[in-house]
Structure 1
Amino acid sequence: MNSNGLSNDEVIKSREKYGNNALTVIKKDSFLKQLIRSLGDPIIKILLIALGIKTVFLIQDFDWYETVGIVIAIFLASFISTISEYGSEKAFLKLQSEAEAIKVKVRRSGKIILIDVNDVVVGDIILLESGDRIASDGVLIKGEVSVDESSITGESKEVYKHPFTSGLNPNTNNELLRGSVIYHGVGEMVVTKVGVNTFYGKISLELQDKQPESPLKIRLRDLARVISRIGYIGAFLVAFSYLFSVLIIDNNFDISRIMVTLSNTSLLFAYFLQALTLAVTIIVVSVPEGLPMMITLVLSSNMKRMLKDNVLVRKLMGIETAGSLNILFTDKTGTLTKGELEVVGVMFGNLDYYQDKERLKSSISYYNVLKRCILSNTNCVYDDEKKMWIGGNATDKAVVNYLREKKYNVRIVKQVPFDSKNKYSYTKVLEDNKEITYYKGAPEVLLDKCKYYISSSGRSVPFVNKKRISDVIDNYASKGIRVLMLGVDDGRGLSFISLLFIKDELREEVKDGISLVRKAGIKTVMITGDNKITAKSIADSAGIINSDKDIVLTSSELNKMSDDKIKEILPNLAVVARALPTDKSRLVRISQELGLVVGMTGDGVNDAPALKKADVGFSMGSGTEVAKEASDIILLDNNFNSIVKAILYGRTIFKSIRKFIIFQLTVNFCAVFLSIVGPFIGVDSPVTVIQMLWVNMVMDTLAGIAFSYEAPLLEYMEEPPKRRDEKILNKYMIYEIIFTSIYSFLLCIFFLKSPFIHSFFREGRGDIYFMSAFFGLFIFMMIFNSFNARTSRLNIFANLLSNKVFLGVILFIVVVQIILIYYGGDLFRTTSLSLKEIEIMLLCAFSVIPVEFFRKLYLKSKGKLGCV
Structure 2
Amino acid sequence: MERNTKEKYYLLEADDAIAKLDSSKNGLSEVEAQKRLNDFGKNELREKESDPTWKIFLESFKDPMVIILIGAAILQIVTGSVMESLIIFVVLILNAVLGTVQTKKAESSINSLKQMSVPSAKVIRDGQKYTVSSTEVVPGDIVLLEAGDYVPADGRLIEAESLKIVEGMLTGESEPAQKSTGRLIEESSVGDRVNMVYSTSMVVNGRATYVCTRTGMDTEIGKIADLLENTDAKQTPLQSNIEVFSKKLGVAIVLICILIFGIQVFRAYTHPTGVEMKTVILNSFMFAVAIAVAAIPEALSSIVTIVLSIGTKTMSKKNSIIRKLPAVETLGSTSIICTDKTGTLTMNKMTAVEYYKYSKDAESIEVVEEPKKDSVDLENFNSEDMLNIAAALCNDSVIKEDGKEIGDPTEVALTVLADKKGYISDRVRDIYPRLQELPFDSDRKLMSTYHKINSKGIMITKGAPDIIISRSSKVLVGSQVIEMTEDIKNEVRDQNEKYSNKALRVLAFGYRQMDEGKKIGIEDEDNFIFIGLVAMIDPPRNEVIEAVAKAKSAGIKPIMITGDHKTTAVAIGKNIGLFNEGDISYTGLELDNLTDEELDKQLEKISVYARVSPENKIRIVGAWQKKNKVTAMTGDGVNDAPALKNADIGIAMGSGTEVAKEAASMVLVDDNFASIIAAVEVGRTVYSNIKKSITYLFSGNLGAIISILFAVFAGWTNPYTALQLIFINMVNDSIPAIALGMEKPEEGVMSMDPREKNEGLLGGGTLQAILSRGVFVGIAAIVAQYVGMKHSPNMGVAMAFTTLLLARTLQTFACRSDFRSAFAIGFFSNKYVVGAVLICLSLLGLVLLPPVRGIFAIPAEYSMTNLAVSFLIALISVLFMEIAKAISYSKVKKLRAENRLDI
Is the structural similarity TM-score above 0.5? yes
Match of 1:859 among 884, 888, 894: 888
Q: Secondary structure at the match of 1:717?
A: coil
Aligned: 1:471 with 2:485:
no
Following superposition, the deviation at residue 675 of structure 1 comes to 3.5
CA distance in 1, matches of 2:551, 2:153: 42
Question: Are the equivalent residues in 2 in contact too, given 1:70–1:690 (CA < 8 A)?
Answer: yes
Shift of the 519–368 alpha-carbon distance from structure 1 to 2, 3 Å rule, reads: closer
Task: Tell me if the contact between 1:20 and 1:195 (Cα under 8 Å) persists in the aligned partners.
Answer: yes
Q: Displacement of 1:232 after TM fit?
A: 0.8
- Residues 532 and 553, structure 1, Cα contact 8 Å, conserved in 2: no
Which of 342, 349, 352 is the aligned partner of 1:343? Answer: 352
The equivalences for 1:82-161 within 5 A come to 82-98=96-112, 103=117, 105-106=119-120, 122=136
User: Aligned partners of 1:819 and 1:206: how far apart in 2?
Assistant: 55
Would you say 1:399 and 2:414 are equivalent positions?
A: yes
Q: Supply the distance in 2 between the matched residues of 1:680 and 1:837 (Cα, whole angstroms).
A: 25
User: Residue in 2 aligned with 1:694?
Assistant: 727
Kindly provide the amino acid, as one letter, of the partner of residue 724 in structure 2: Q
CA distance in 1 between counterparts of 2:739 and 2:212 reads 50
Q: Distance in 1 between matches of 2:106 and 2:829?
A: 22
Query: Residues 747 and 530 (structure 1 numbering): CA distance in 2 closer, same or farther, change over 3 Å?
Result: same
CA drift at 1:329: 5.9
Asked if structure 2 preserves the Cα contact closer than 8 Å seen for 1:520 and 1:721, the reply is yes
- Correspondence for 2:254: 232
Whether the 8 Å contact between 1:599 and 1:618 is mirrored in structure 2 is: yes
Contact 1:536/1:552, CA 8 A, preserved across alignment = no
Partners in 1 of 2:330 and 2:641 — Cα distance?
Answer: 19
**Cα distance in 2 between the residues matched to 1:613 and 1:39:** 24
Q: Contact 1:243–1:271 (CA<8 Å) still a contact in 2?
A: yes
| Deviation, structure 1 residue 775 | 2.0
Q: Does 1:779 align with 2:800?
A: no
Contact 1:147 1:183 in 2 (8 A): no
Contact 1:452 1:462 in 2 (8 A): no
Displacement, 1:219? 2.1
Displacement, 1:785?
A: 2.5
Task: Determine if the alignment matches structure 1 residue 826 to structure 2 residue 860.
Answer: no
Question: Measured at CA, do residues 492 and 316 of structure 1 come closer, stay the same or move farther in structure 2, by a change above 3 Å?
Answer: farther
Pick one of 686, 699, 702 that aligns with 1:653. 686
Deviation of residue 223 (structure 1)? 0.8
Q: CA deviation at 1:550?
A: 2.2
| Matched-pair contact (CA < 8 Å) for 1:106–1:127 | no
CA deviation after TM superposition for structure 1 residue 645, in Å: 1.4
Shift of 1:493: 7.8
Structure 1 residue 24, shift from structure 2 partner: 6.5
Q: Is the 8 A contact 1:751 1:774 kept in 2?
A: yes
Give the direction of change, closer, same or farther, for the CA distance of 1:511–1:429 in structure 2 (3 Å limit): closer
Q: Which residue of 2 aligns with 1:34?
A: 57
Question: Aligned equivalents of 2:293 and 2:590: distance in 1?
Answer: 60
**Is contact 1:452–1:463 with CA below 8 Å preserved after alignment?**
no
Change (3 A) 1:98 1:779: farther
2:679 corresponds to which letter in structure 1? Answer: A
Q: 1:272 aligns with which of 277, 281, 286?
A: 281
CA deviation after TM superposition for structure 1 residue 850, in Å: 1.3
Tell me if the contact between 1:129 and 1:182 (Cα under 8 Å) persists in the aligned partners: no
On the 8 A contact 2:503/2:571 being kept in 1, the answer is no
- Tell me how far apart the structure 1 counterparts of residues 145 and 762 of structure 2 sit (CA, whole Å): 51
The whole-number CA distance in structure 1 between the counterparts of 2:525 and 2:100 is 67
2:10 — aligned with what? none
Shift of 1:275: 3.1
* 2-structure distance, mates of 1:303, 1:746: 39
Distance 2:133 2:404 in 1: 21
Separation in structure 2 between the aligned mates of residue 857 and residue 148 of structure 1, nearest angstrom = 56
1:415-564, aligned counterparts within 5 Å? 447=466, 451-453=470-472, 464=486, 465-473=488-496, 482-485=504-507, 490=522, 499-502=533-536, 509-523=543-557, 539=574, 542=576, 550-551=581-582
2: CA distance, partners of 1:130 / 1:843 = 78
- Note if contact 1:477-1:533 (Cα within 8 Å) is conserved in structure 2: no
Distance across 1 between alignment mates of 2:149 and 2:694: 44
Task: Find the residue that maps to 1:824 and give its secondary structure.
Answer: helix
Correspondent of 2:314 among 293, 305, 322: 305
TM-score by length of 1: 0.69
Counterpart residue identity of residue 235, structure 1: C
Deviates more, 1:314-323 or 1:845-854: 314-323
The superposition leaves residues 65-123 of structure 1 with CA deviations (integer Å, 9 ceiling, x where unpaired) of: xx4533442343234323433333333433454456664554699xxxxxxxx996637
**Alignment partner, residue 126 of structure 2:** none
Query: Residue 421 of structure 2 corresponds to which residue in structure 1?
Result: none
Counterpart residue number, 1:788: 814
Alignment partner of 1:388 is 2:404: yes
Alignment CA distance shift 1:351-1:36 (3 Å): closer
Residues 335, 638 of structure 1: 8 Å contact kept: yes
Deviates more, 1:592-601 or 1:302-311: 592-601
Deviation at 1:431, TM superposition (A): 9.7
2:29 aligned partner: none
Q: Can you give the 5+ residue segments of structure 1 that lack an aligned partner in the other structure? A: 4-13, 56-66, 110-117, 152-157, 165-171, 252-256, 263-267, 418-423
Q: Percent identity?
A: 22
1:228 to 1:477, Cα distance in 2 relative to 1, 3 A = same
- Tell me which residue corresponds to 1:817: 844
Deviation at 1:227, TM superposition (A): 0.6
Residues 752 and 295 of structure 1: CA distance in aligned 2, closer, same or farther (over 3 Å): closer
Quick check: 1:849 aligned with 2:878?
Answer: yes
Query: How far 1:25 moved relative to its partner?
Result: 6.5
**Does residue 1:216 correspond to 2:238, yes or no?**
yes
- The 1:500/1:747 distance shift into structure 2, 3 A limit, reads same
After superposing the two structures, state which structure 1 stretch, 67-76 or 349-358, moved more. 349-358
Give per-residue Cα distances to partners, 1:460-506, cap 9 Å, x unaligned: x989544322333466689x894532579936889888532448776
Match of 2:395 among 352, 355, 374: 374
- Aligned pairs, number: 780
Q: 1:468 to 1:562 in 2, by over 3 A?
A: farther
Match of 2:702 in 1: 669
Rounded Cα–Cα distance in structure 2 between residues aligned with 1:410 and 1:624: 40
Instruction: Report Cα offsets for 1:661-694 as digits up to 9, x if no partner.
Output: 3223223333334334434434443221222222
C-alpha distance in 1, partners of 2:245/2:444?
Answer: 55
TM (norm. structure 2) is 0.67
After superposition, the Cα gap between the structure-2 partners of 1:206 and 1:452, relative to the gap in structure 1 and judged at 3 Å, is closer
Partner of 1:500: helix, strand, or coil?
A: strand
Q: Deviations over 1:239-263 (max 9, x none)?
A: 3344456665561xxxxx47xx34x
**Relative to structure 1, is the Cα distance of residues 334 and 808 closer, same or farther in structure 2, using a 3 angstrom cutoff?**
farther
Partner of 1:847, secondary structure, is helix
**How far apart are the structure 1 equivalents of 2:281 and 2:437?**
89
2 CA distance for matches of 1:129 and 1:633? 34
Q: CA deviation at 1:214?
A: 2.1
In structure 2, relative to structure 1, the CA distance for the partners of 1:710 and 1:453 (3 Å cut) is farther
Superposed CA RMSD: 6.2
Alpha-carbon spacing, 1:834–1:317, altered in 2? closer, same or farther (3 Å): closer
Q: Show the counterpart of 1:678.
A: 711
Could you say what secondary structure the match of 2:471 adopts?
Answer: strand
